[in-house]
Amino acid sequence: MLPLGLVIPLLIPLLPLTFAHNIYELNTEYAGPTFFDEWGFFDNFDNLTEGSAIYVSAQVGASEKLAFVNEAGNAIIKVDNTTKLKDGAFRNTVRIQTNAVHGLGSLWVADMVHVPYGCSVWPAWWSSAPSWPASGEIDTFEYVNLMPNGQMALHTLPGCTLDDSPSNKFTGLINSTDCSFEFNSNQGCVVQNTNSTAYGEGFANAGGGVFVTEFGVDGISIWFFTRSAIPATLQNGTGDINTTMLGTPVANFPASTCNLSFIEPQHLTLNIDLCGAFAGDPTIFAQTCSGSCYQDYVIGPPSTYDTAYFEIKSIRTYHDPLFPNAIVIPPPPNITQAAPPIFTGQPFAAAPGVQGNIGWALICSLFAILFLGLTEGLL
Ligand SMILES: *[C@@H]1O[C@H](CO)[C@@H](O)[C@H](O)[C@H]1NC(C)=O
Ligand SMILES: *[C@@H]1O[C@H](CO)[C@@H](O)[C@H](O)[C@H]1NC(C)=O
Ligand SMILES: *[C@@H]1O[C@H](CO)[C@@H](O)[C@H](O)[C@H]1NC(C)=O
Ligand SMILES: *[C@@H]1O[C@H](CO)[C@@H](O)[C@H](O)[C@H]1NC(C)=O
Ligand SMILES: *[C@@H]1O[C@H](CO)[C@@H](O)[C@H](O)[C@H]1NC(C)=O
Ligand SMILES: *[C@@H]1O[C@H](CO)[C@@H](O)[C@H](O)[C@H]1NC(C)=O
Ligand SMILES: *[C@@H]1O[C@H](CO)[C@@H](O)[C@H](O)[C@H]1NC(C)=O
Ligand SMILES: *[C@@H]1O[C@H](CO)[C@@H](O)[C@H](O)[C@H]1NC(C)=O
């Protein structure tokens, strides 16, 4: 018989196995003065979705007060609402993504007090992996213009679907079930969140709320809670989250009909685009706004963008203790190293749920590879 002193340490490592993948431990918190430290700024115009946006660098974001931490300690990510632009110009705005990647067994929680809205505005809180679109994309929300509802979606390789049988319980409304990026110009499997407090003015008037995205072994689930209804487990500070206490999600993509190997570790992204393939589509634009997306808004009165900002209390990431390496935070770059980064495929995905741009993005990537190949050959 083993002495008790030995039996107990042997049992302790087995204890987590009794959890059924519903408990998540805090991994990283993005909040307060250091909010922006571990994010990359796109620092280029929107070269992927035809938007009339210039995504600024961290330096410009700070100096023009487009990406900064306000007096309340909340992160602000906004569109320039002070500059009157000349015809042909694009407007400054922000697109950032986490340095860290989030794989199977991770969960992320965004506590926001304001989300962007207004005619020509296309905000999104989403994630993707470098070899987009084949490596999978999770959209916690995106919407355009003055649309009353936001949408959630997955975009994957062919073969993943949203289970639309009654046994899959969630509160959102299904718009499409094929998650393949090859289906219907990368529409994705889309669920609408019809809760009027989840977006735009309704969200702000309610004091905001919390979005939870779980990339768990049983599937991908998204919850939304308005400020007055945030469950206790999400108010647990740096304590654990028990997803069983979150109730029925607003969207649920079970692993039974979607092979989660299709979703590679994800960079989390926040961006605000202007017009472009989704907000600027004339049919979609006319549904909630009048006039011309570019002429009347992007180069129109800058006050159009007074409501086009995220105000974020915190973004916290968590992992399932059975997947201790679900979240990987890369080491800080070697600042003494002068060489430019090596091209490793497309570092930034096009956009959440964008339709009809894949061919273009792939062609651009091929040209980039060809160009690098030629340069290497010349050297
Ligand atoms: C999505 O589905 C909802 C509910 O069925 C419907 O009202 C809405 O028009 C659909 N939206 C799109 C873009 O198909
Ligand atoms: C919106 O979500 C909140 C929970 O966050 C809920 O209390 C409220 O009833 C929902 N409203 C509608 C119209 O579904
Ligand atoms: C809060 O976290 C602690 C440990 O981190 C856990 O024991 C407790 O059950 C959590 N409470 C809720 C309400 O989830
Ligand atoms: C998680 O929450 C559920 C539902 O409230 C509860 O039955 C279960 O005991 C909780 N798990 C832990 C480990 O606290
Ligand atoms: C899921 O996809 C991976 C990678 O493509 C593959 O190796 C695996 O066999 C698939 N699993 C199932 C159950 O289809
Ligand atoms: C611009 O938007 C901010 C909110 O993000 C607001 O406080 C400000 O008054 C707006 N107008 C100007 C001219 O800065
Ligand atoms: C950082 O870069 C310098 C200069 O290229 C190199 O000597 C050094 O080994 C690098 N350090 C690491 C940790 O890669
Ligand atoms: C778009 O700009 C980004 C950032 O400069 C760059 O990494 C990417 O290769 C560009 N993509 C295309 C398709 O031009």
Using CB distances shorter than 6 Å, the residues near ligand 3 are: 232-233, 236, 239-240, 242
Domain 4-378: which CATH number of 1.10.3720.10, 3.30.1330.30, 3.50.50.60, 2.60.120.200: 2.60.120.200
User: DSSP of 314-377, one letter per residue?
Assistant: EEEEEE-TT-TTSEE-PPPP-TT--SPPPP-S-SS---TT--S-HHHHHHHHHHHHHHHHHHHH
Atom of ligand 7 at shortest range from CA of 336: 2
Per the annotation, the verdict on 25 as an active-site residue is no
Distance 97 CA to ligand 7 centre (A): 25
Atom of ligand 8 at shortest range from CA of 47: 1
256 Cβ inside 6 Å of ligand 4: no
336 Cβ inside 6 Å of ligand 7: yes
| Domain boundaries, given as residue ranges, for the chain | 4-378
Pairwise CA distance, residues 356 & 377, whole Å: 33
Pairwise CA distance, residues 138 & 191, whole Å: 12
Q: Per the structure block, which two tokens stand in for 312?
A: 């974020």
> What are the angstrom distances between the C-alpha of 103 and each of 49, 224, 330?
26, 21, 14
> What are the angstrom distances between the C-alpha of 295 and each of 66, 84, 93, 228, 313?
22, 12, 17, 39, 34
Residuewise pLDDT in 10s, the chain (379 residues): 444 444 444 444 444 444 468 999 999 999 999 999 999 999 999 999 999 999 999 999 999 999 999 999 999 999 999 999 999 999 999 999 999 999 999 999 999 999 999 999 999 999 999 888 899 999 999 999 999 899 999 999 999 999 999 999 999 999 999 999 999 989 999 999 999 999 999 999 999 999 999 999 999 999 999 999 999 999 998 899 999 999 999 999 999 999 999 999 999 999 999 999 999 999 999 999 999 999 999 999 999 999 999 999 999 999 999 999 999 998 766 555 444 433 333 334 555 654 433 333 333 344 444 444 444 443 3
Name the burial class of residue 69, with classes exposed (0-12), middle (13-18) and buried (19+) by CB atoms within 10 angstroms of its CB.
middle
Distance 79 CA to ligand 8 centre (A): 20
Whole-prediction pTM:
0.85
Pairwise CA distance, residues 78 & 68, whole Å: 9
Q: Among residues 50, 64, 142, 201, which one is catalytic?
A: 142
